[in-house]
Amino acid sequence: MKKAKVLVAAMMAVVMGLSMVACGGSSSSTSTAAGSSTSASQPADSVGTESGDAEYAVILKVLSSQFWQSMRDGIQAKADELGIKVDIYAANTEDDVEGQVTLLENAISKGYKAIGVAPISNVNLNNAIADATEKGIKIVNIDEQIDMEALAELGGACCAYVATDNVGVGRMGAEYLIEQIGGEGEVAIVEGKAGAVSGENRRDGAKAAFEEAGLTIVESQPADWDRTKAYDLATNYITAHPDLKAIYCCNDTMAMGVQEAVEASGKDIKVCGTDGNDDAIQSVADGKLCATVAQDPAAVGAKGLELMVDAVENDAAMEPGAEVPSTGIEAILITADNASDYLA
């Protein structure tokens, strides 16, 4: 958490339309349970166990990556601060769509007062959220943005949304690449998983910045958040476009694969990633990756729990089709000039 603590000081929350009230119960302990696709009541690994009397739960995408582990830690830290208990679940993989649905359905049956959800896709949890809405459970959308129109058609709603400003993230990374290549040349984008709103927003932010600078975007394709797929995709980009100067990647895992492809080609192509993972920051410090745009998942998770508590204490509205108040957590650009400040 060393890096997360530094990042918190460098980032700020942009709150639109919802005030926060930090309040909690009498208990001061937290617990986590990593979920599985077959059972939400037993941990899938040794992350922890359910408290048995928590009033709040959070369902994350996974707990296998640094990003989601940091978010879990931020949630736990906030629970300690507020003096409440929270149970944390996660799917086994980012493809475990049905498993995540089962986790939410089981959480609903446990009678939590509020549940935070970071859906694998923008629609996979919608039926279960509609059920939670009917039962009066407060739902806070975390990270991946739910398709609110589709949710409203099912009679479901969320009372708040919190995430990184992903359009701003993509723009920040692209603008730095533009500067590094002197404002001219061919550029490309490596997208995340098709249909993932967070990745699409980053792509759109980068695309807008490149186009405003008058650069030619020769490729923009998904690599499914996967390092090997990104390596293969970048290899194809480099072969097909010998004048390619820069590549923006929608996460650091893919950026590391793209950087490997660039090094294998022997060309001078600038690569910027997203997330601020430890290995990416080290790569930046080593003069390989050009930059990474660091998110603060711990702050996102903490704010999500804060919003859940606020929703319960103030009986926040859950109206299908209503505008959902949003909180954006800004990111920070990590380059060779400041990478050493963020190394664990």
* 148 and 258 fall within a common domain: no
Backbone dihedral angles phi then psi of residue 2, each to the nearest 5 degrees:
-60, -45
* 133 and 172 fall within a common domain: no
Residue 330 has pLDDT above 90, yes or no: no
263 contacts: CB under 8 Å, gap ≥ 6: 288
* 26 and 77 fall within a common domain: yes
Residue 8 has pLDDT above 90, yes or no: no
* 230 and 181 fall within a common domain: yes
* 171 and 120 fall within a common domain: no
pLDDT digits (tens, 9 = 90+) for 186-195: 999 999 999 8
Residue 211 has pLDDT above 90, yes or no: yes
* 301 and 287 fall within a common domain: no
Give me the pLDDT at residue 53, please: 86
Q: Is 282 helix (H, G, I), strand (E, B) or coil?
A: helix
Which is more confidently placed, 285 or 195? 285
**Mean pLDDT to the nearest integer, 35-40:** 34
Domain with 262, as residue range(s), is 166-295+334-342
Tokens coding 12? 């700020």
DSSP letter (8 states) at residue 19: -
* 100 and 187 fall within a common domain: no
DSSP E strands: which ranges in 289-329? 291-294, 326-329
Q: Are 327 and 302 in contact (CB under 8 A)?
A: no
pLDDT digits (tens, 9 = 90+) for 132-156: 999 999 999 999 999 999 999 999 9
Q: Is 311 helix (H, G, I), strand (E, B) or coil?
A: helix
* 227 and 146 fall within a common domain: no
Q: Are 163 and 145 in contact (CB under 8 A)?
A: yes
Evaluate the CA torsion angle 296, 95, 59, 130 in order and state its sign: positive
57 contacts: CB under 8 Å, gap ≥ 6: 86, 87, 88, 89, 107, 110, 112, 114, 115, 116
DSSP letter (8 states) at residue 146: P
* 66 and 192 fall within a common domain: no
* 203 and 279 fall within a common domain: yes
Dist CA 131 CA 133 (whole Å): 5
Tokens coding 337? 């000039």
Q: Which CA distances in Å does 79 have to 74, 304, 309? A: 9, 11, 10
| pTM assigned to the model | 0.74
Evaluate the CA torsion angle 326, 253, 332, 281 in order and state its sign: positive
**CATH classification of the domain holding 290:** 3.40.50.2300
* 55 and 125 fall within a common domain: yes
Which is more confidently placed, 253 or 36? 253
Give me the pLDDT at residue 66, please: 85
Backbone dihedral angles phi then psi of residue 198, each to the nearest 5 degrees:
-60, -45
pLDDT digits (tens, 9 = 90+) for 259-273: 999 999 999 999 999
CA 106 vs. chain centroid, Å, equals: 23
Instruction: pLDDT band for 3, please (50, 70, 90 cuts).
Output: very low
What's the structural domain count of the chain? 2
* 81 and 25 fall within a common domain: yes
